């Protein structure tokens, strides 16, 4: 399994916004798109987009293209049924578009805003953080992480928290003190 990790000594920003002093890698912005077919998704698309740019720069992985689309329950349930034979909604679906595992990141993440809203309400944090968590989760799948058993899920959650801290958002699974 290929896992791209930041080093443990990667400095962690302290505010909620991406660090404007960090130079943006050429092409990251052009190769990342965040769009919304859901009204609430449109509200948070720019915030998620900016944080994903910062994350992709920190990961320093070759990037062909990454598309993030925010949808509602109905659209997600249709996709989930079509591709995974489960007609219920889910949080995020990851589509790896690479022809080989060794190629640069090339994928699409479909994220359910309605599911993010329910989960954010239940966890007591903002919807934008939940949407970003789902995007990080999908990106980790594209980098080779899996969460089909409890041990792998814990590894993935730990990495999600570490990355969210690294871009200044803070952990979700093991909240910061």
In the annotated binding site, the residues are 137, 141, 147
- Residue indicated by tokens 């698309």: 45
Annotated binding-site positions for Zn(2+): 137, 141, 147
Please check whether residue 136 is in contact with residue 55, taking contact to mean a CB–CB distance below 8 angstroms: yes
Angle formed at CA 23 by CA 19 and CA 25, multiple of 5 degrees? 115
Task: List Cβ neighbours of 91 (8 Å cut-off, separation of 6 or more).
Answer: 111, 112, 115, 116, 119, 134, 137
* Closest C-alpha to 168, from 3, 17, 53: 17
Report whether 131 contacts 114 (CB < 8 A): no
The residue behind tokens 């598309």 is 67
Query: What gap in Å lies between CA 145 and CA 105, rounded to an integer?
Result: 13
């Amino acid at each position: 399994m290929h896992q791209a990790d930041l080093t443990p000594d990667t400095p962690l920003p302290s505010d909620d916004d991406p660090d404007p002093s960090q130079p943006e890698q050429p092409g990251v912005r052009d190769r990342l798109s965040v769009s919304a077919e859901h009204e609430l998704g449109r509200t948070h698309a720019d915030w998620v987009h900016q944080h994903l740019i910062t994350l992709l720069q920190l990961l320093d992985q070759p990037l062909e293209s990454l598309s993030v689309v925010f949808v509602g329950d109905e659209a997600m349930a249709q996709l989930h049924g079509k591709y995974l034979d489960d007609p219920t909604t889910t949080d995020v679906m990851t589509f790896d578009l690479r022809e080989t595992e060794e190629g640069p990141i090339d994928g699409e993440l479909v994220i359910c805003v309605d599911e993010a809203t329910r989960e954010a309400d239940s966890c007591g944090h903002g919807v934008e953080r939940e949407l970003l968590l789902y995007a990080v989760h999908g990106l980790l799948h594209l980098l080779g992480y899996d969460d089909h058993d409890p041990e792998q899920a814990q590894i993935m959650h730990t990495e999600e928290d570490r990355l969210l801290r690294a871009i200044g958002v803070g952990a979700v699974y093991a909240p910061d003190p």
